[in-house]
Amino acid sequence: MFGVQQPLHWSALGEVMGVPAWKSLPTWFLIADGDQAIPPEAQRQFAPRMGATTVEVPTNHVAMVSHPDDVPQLIKSAAQAASR
């Protein structure tokens, strides 16, 4: 992860965001119940607001590292549901 992460460019702060994709597309959300970067309670509020199908995993902010099987399973479920 260190090899591909880059600092946020200052110009990103001035960008105007359009309509979020979750307003018109099916959405899936992985809630990390031990996250210390984005509070799990906030995640639990975001997901229903988005109308998201949720999966809750006992993990930290980097679920793809600590739960490498759960994240791809969520992606596969989303892909299968979206293709119907």
**72 in a structural domain:** yes
Predicted confidence pLDDT, tens digits, the chain (84 residues) = 777 778 888 898 898 889 999 999 999 999 999 999 999 999 999 999 999 999 999 999 999 899 989 999 999 999 999 888
H or E stretch covering 77:
helix 70-83
Asked if residue 52 belongs to a domain, the reply is yes
Query: What is the total count of domains within the chain?
Result: 1
Query: Residue 50 has what pLDDT?
Result: 94
> How many residues does this entry show for the chain?
84
> Are the C-beta atoms of 74 and 63 separated by less than 8 Å?
no
16 is a domain residue: no
Q: Determine, yes or no, domain membership for 49.
A: yes
- Decide if 8 is inside a domain: no
Domain enclosing residue 77, as ranges: 23-83
Beta carbons of 56 and 31 less than 8 angstroms apart: yes
pTM, two decimals, is 0.78
Q: Is residue 36 part of a domain?
A: yes
**What's the pLDDT score for residue 52?**
96
65 touches 1 (CB < 8 A): yes
- Indicate whether 45 belongs to any domain: yes
